[in-house]
Structure formats: C-alpha cells, structure tokens
Amino acid sequence: MIEVRHLQKSFGRVHALSGVSFAVPPGQVTGLLGSNGAGKSTTIRIITGYTSPDAGWVRVGGALASHDAMRVRRSIGYLPESAPTYGEMSVQSLLRFRASLQGLRGKARKAAVGRAIDTCVLGSVRRRRVGQLSKGYKQRVGLATAILHDPPVLVLDEPSNGLDPSQITETRSLIRRLAEGRTVLVSSHILPEIERTCDRVVILAQGRLCAEGDLKELLAGGEHELVAEARFATPASRAVALDAAKAIDGVQRVLPREMDGGVARWRVGFDPSTITEPELRHTLGALLAKAGAEVRLLERERVSLEHLFLKLMEQGPPSEPEAKPAEDAA
Amino acid sequence: MSSARVAWAIARREFASLFRVPVGWLVLALYAGLWGGMFVQFVLVPGAPATLRPLFATAAWLMLPIAPAISMRLVSDELRTGSYELVATSPASDFVLAMGKFLGAGLFLLAMLVGTLPLVGVLLVVSDPMPDVGPMLAGYLSVTLLGVLFLSVGLLASTLTASQTLSFLGAMMALFVWLLATTAGRSRAPEGVAEVLAMLAITDRLEGFAKGVIDTGDVAFFIVLTGWFVLAASVCLSVRRWS
C-alpha cells in the first residue's frame, strides 16, 4: 500500500506538485497519468526516496518515507524512466550488483538473480553486455533489477517507453504477472496500455490531482447507467419492452435512441441502492428475451481512457490545491 | 555490517568499471609513462644514489591530473546517464554510497601504483649497493595517502555536477590552487595566513616520507582530510535529495 498525502514540491519558481494526495492499494495495478510536466516523475521520485518533498508525506507499507527511508526503499522495486543502467556490465553481473545493494548475498543472491532472469526471460542474454541489448531487453533488465529482492511494491516509470508493439504486449503481461500479490504503480503516456494494464488510475495535471479511482468507475463516468442495444421484431414489441424496462424497481430513467436496422439503444439509469448492476442486467436481459428481441449489447457504458484523459485535461486541475499540514502523518 | 557489504559491492563495481572504459586504461598508461619518464631522467643516473626520492618528492604534481581523471566519473557519469537514480533509491545511506565510490577509486589507485613496481625491481637489479628499502616503502605509503586524499577531493567535485569535464577541471583546479597556495603562495601571505597554509602544505609532508620518515601527524593529516572530503561528498549527495 502506498499513501501519498498533500505532497508539495517546487523547483525554483516552478511548482511541480501542489498538494497531491492519493493511495495505491495492494494487489492492484495503479496507473499514474498526466501530460508532460504534470508531476508524475516528481511524484515517483518522492515515493522512491530519490528526492524529498517540500511538504506532505509518503507512507509505503505502513512506513513513513521521511522517518524510515531505508525500510521504504527496501520495500520498493523501482524501474526509472528509460531504464538507465550500466551499459558496460553483463546482465548477470548487473543483477548480482543490484542484489548486493539490496543486501542479498551468497545463495540468496544467486537464487534471486536466477529467479529474476527466469521471470523476465533473460536467460539467452545473461552474459551479454547491457549496452549491447535492444531497447526491449534493456527494459526487461530494468524490470529484473526491480523485482530482484521480491519487493511488495513496484514502481515503474514508463515501462513501455520506446518499445515496439510486441514488446509492449510482453511487458504488459509481465507487469500483470508481477502484480499478483504486489502493489504496483505504473506511470505511462501510452493510455491504451494503462487501460489494459491497470485496475485504478491517478491523473495529475499541472502538479495537482485531477482524478483518482477505479478505472472502470471512472470510465463509466461515475454514473450508474447500463447501455442496452437490441433488435426488435416490431415497433410494438419495442414499445412494450421500453415500458416494462421503465417499470423495473430501481430504474430511474431510460433514454431510448433509434439506430439503423431496427436496432434500439437504451441508456438505463438506475439506483444502485435499490438494484445492483448484475441484477438489473439479469432483469433487463430476461425482459428483452421475453419481448423476442435480439440482444446485441448489455453492459455498463464505457468511454475510452483517452477520451476521459482529454476531457480532464480540458477541464484542468482543481483551482485550489489541497492545503493540509504534514504533521497528520504521525 | 550490511552497510559495509553494500559499500564493498559499490567499490567492486567501480573498480571493475574503470577497467571497462578507455579512460581507466589511459590513466594507467599516463601514470606509468610519467613515472617511467621521471625514472629514466632522474633516477637512472650513473653515479647518483639509488633512490626513488625524486619520484616521491614530486608525487603531488604528478598526481594532479591523475586523481581527478579517476574520480571524475564516480558520481557525475551516473548523474548524466540517470543510473544514479537506481543507486540512490537502494537501501543504502548516502555515506555508504560515497564510501563505496571512494573505495572503488582507491582500489584503482592501488592497482595503478602496483603497475610502477617493476621500476623498483629495475632499481634493485641495477643498483650497487642495494637501495634502502625503508624510504621506498615510506614513499609508496605517501603516494597512496596523497592519492586517496586527491581522490576524495575529486569525489566531492563529482557529486556537484553531472559533467565529467567540469568534475575533472574543478577537482584539478582546486588541487592546483591548494598546492600553489601552500608552496609559492605561502611566502607572500600575511603571517597568520602563512601559518595556516603551512599546516595545509602537502608537499612539506611528502618530503618527510621521501626521506623515509613516517610521522604519525602526517599520516593523520592525510587520513583526517580524506575522511572530511568523503563526508562532504556524502552531504552533497544528501543535499541533492532535498534540492
């Protein structure tokens, strides 16, 4: 679990972060989004202990970064942007070195290096110099160094940066595998990647928090609405079904729209305290089947992350930063 | 104990990496060349006493470009490439990081000095009577102490910039000013300042070693100042986190 509260950081006159707060729950992959200069890298660097905030605090796995920096750093596996590393070293010797920095030695170090090589599929290049590897392999080496000490928290800054589509797919599945039982924070510019990889997102703009939450919830626009698309045999059966849908207990509204080929598209708003989404889906499905309709779609309406992101960027960050003292960390 | 192991891991990496880059081999060749030239010019003189004293007496000036060349990439290069982010986020204190870097450079210095030992062998073979070994040992001790002091200054310079060139020039200029101020500058300085400069004079202390005299005060001088500069380097690394 990562908790970030009221972070503030300035570089000269530039306010990189102005009261940013969010949480990264365990067992999930959380995406950190934002345009250039939004404060993503600064946030990540504060979480990993590379730099310190001017105000605010970070807690990782219950340990406060400002008070127990070593414990926090030990619990984090970090992949910086562009996976910078020592090009003159072989993959194996680099991993050994990184394992030593984590305090591993002897058999534990050997086992950790072997495990990381296996997990990141680096066996074929273990003796090659890192500087001679392709971008994709370098990125894998970076991931391998991040997971060497089996950290409960992974922080990955632009893990798909510069990779080709097949490498992106490999990296995505690797991150999903690594996420099992871990807290993972991924920063990326590639929104479709975040959409496919992450369970939650944190969106920053101009050093402020724009949005935070479950990705599906955010993409659903925070509204409780189902979208149903069905082809009806006759207009009469459609009208009957529409009335029946409006009469379902918990349904607040049904906004119908005619589409080509006799297909109707309904947006069904509901009160989740009266009827849950699965219950409504079941009831509505039964109702449409009874009306003899061919159901083409029955699910929560989703907008793309790109659409949401652009909308939030257009709106801009909240005008007032959260101003809270750092003392509440204790 | 864990910190010592981490420092040792960093030291071993630094030491090995200096042999993987051209600058390491250039430094080795340059130092061996300087010593070889001095050896032929001032030591292998027919009729002259068999001693390496001319080499040890000028060790400070010979080391002036060498130590900064070794130390310039210690932190600067990592800052430039971004790999410092990986090291700085590992569970090691800034002092351990600085100490590891310093030890790695120190090991390279020792390897460099080992490369000059064939000259001692030549001197022992061609000299009759045999040269006194005591002053030679004291001389090597002085060069080692001097070298690590200069490396610590270079390490400090390296923590201040991501440019290896600036790190090299900064360290060399600082050491040059130090040597110049405590030799030529001393005679022109006011009395109080001259006394301080005399205390900081490196060349004076090297002369004692070259004669075969190991003064514990001189040894302490080098060790304390080296420790101070390594500590200052670690403070600079910590300041980086806050800036």
- Say whether pLDDT at B147 is over 90: yes
Q: ∠ CA(B42), CA(B47), CA(B50), 5° rounding?
A: 60
| CB-nearest partner of A84 from B20, B85, B240 | B85
The total of structural domains in chain A comes to 2
- Say whether pLDDT at B127 is over 90: no
What's the confidence (pLDDT) of residue A322? 47
The CA distances from residue A275 to A222, A253, A310, in Å, are 16, 13, 32
B93 touches chain A (CB under 8 A): yes
Q: Which two tokens stand for residue B183?
A: 């030799």
Q: Which two tokens stand for residue B91?
A: 């569970």
Q: Domain check: are A237 and A251 in the same one?
A: yes
To 10 degrees, the CA torsion angle through A71, A76, A79, A84? 20
- Domain extent for A240: 225-300
Position A306 confidence tier, pLDDT thresholds 50, 70, 90: confident
Q: Domain check: are A137 and A263 in the same one?
A: no
Q: Domain check: are A20 and A92 in the same one?
A: yes
B211 touches chain A (CB under 8 A): no
Q: Domain check: are A140 and A230 in the same one?
A: no
**Which residue matches tokens 């390496």?**
B52
Average pLDDT over residues A23-49: 90
B96 touches chain A (CB under 8 A): no
What's the confidence (pLDDT) of residue A154? 94
**Which residue matches tokens 């006011």?**
B190
Q: Is the dihedral of CA A128, A131, A134, A136 positive or negative?
A: positive
- Say whether pLDDT at A1 is over 80: yes
C-alpha B77/C-alpha B83 separation (Å) is 8
What's the confidence (pLDDT) of residue B21? 86
- Establish, for the pair of chains A and B, how many residue pairs have beta carbons separated by less than 8 Å: 69
Lowest-confidence region among B1-5, B24-28, B169-173: B1-5
What's the confidence (pLDDT) of residue A223? 66
| Strand (E) or helix (H) holding A205 | strand A200-205
Residue of A187, A48, A125, A247 whose CA lies nearest to B85:
A48
What's the confidence (pLDDT) of residue A327? 47
Phi, psi torsion values for A125, nearest 5 degrees? -120, 15
To 10 degrees, the CA torsion angle through B112, B113, B116, B121? -140
Nearest chain A residue to B79, by CA? A84
C-alpha neighbours within 13 Å on the C-beta side of residue A285 = 10
| CB-nearest partner of A51 from B86, B87, B241 | B241
| CB-nearest partner of A103 from B6, B82, B242 | B6
Residue of B144, B183, B178 whose CA lies nearest to B56:
B144
* Helix (H/G/I), strand (E/B), else coil: A4: strand
Other C-beta atoms within 10 Å of A219: how many? 18
Average pLDDT over residues A303-315: 78
What's the confidence (pLDDT) of residue A323? 46
Q: Do B241 and A50 touch (CB under 8 A)?
A: yes
More confident residue, A53 or B127: A53
Identify the top-confidence range among A120-129, A153-162, A190-199.
A120-129
- Say whether pLDDT at B236 is over 90: yes
Residue of A289, A292, A285, A290 whose CA lies nearest to A268:
A285
What is chain A's mean pLDDT, rounded?
86
Residue of B155, B97, B143 whose CA lies nearest to B116:
B143
- Say whether pLDDT at B193 is over 90: no
Residue ranges of the domains in chain B? 2-242
Which residues in chain A are closer than 8 Å to B85, comparing Cβ atoms? 45, 50, 78, 80, 84
> How confident is the model over B32-57, as pLDDT tens digits?
999 899 888 888 887 777 788 888 88
Q: Do A145 and B88 touch (CB under 8 A)?
A: no
Q: Do A97 and B81 touch (CB under 8 A)?
A: no
Residue of A167, A134, A186 whose CA lies nearest to A2:
A186
Phi, psi torsion values for A33, nearest 5 degrees? -115, 160
Q: Is the dihedral of CA B153, B156, B158, B160 positive or negative?
A: negative
CATH code of residue A293 = 3.30.70.100
What's the confidence (pLDDT) of residue A319? 63
Q: Is the dihedral of CA B83, B88, B89, B95 positive or negative?
A: positive
The CA distances from residue B90 to A149, A187, A259, B84, in Å, are 11, 20, 58, 10
β-pairing, A14-24 vs A2-11, is antiparallel
> How confident is the model over A196-250, as pLDDT tens digits?
889 999 999 888 998 888 888 787 765 678 888 898 888 888 888 888 999 999 8
Burial class (CB in 10 A: 0-12, 13-18, 19+), B107: middle
Q: Do A101 and B83 touch (CB under 8 A)?
A: no
Nearest chain A residue to B2, by CA? A103
C-alpha A237/C-alpha B169 separation (Å) is 87
Residue of B16, B85, B3 whose CA lies nearest to A101:
B3
CATH code of residue A131 = 3.40.50.300
Q: In chain B, what percentage of residues exceed pLDDT 70?
A: 100
Amino acid at A86: Y
What is chain B's mean pLDDT, rounded?
90
Q: Which residues contact A291 (CB under 8 A, 6 or more apart)?
A: A232, A237, A238, A240, A241, A244
- Say whether pLDDT at A329 is over 70: no
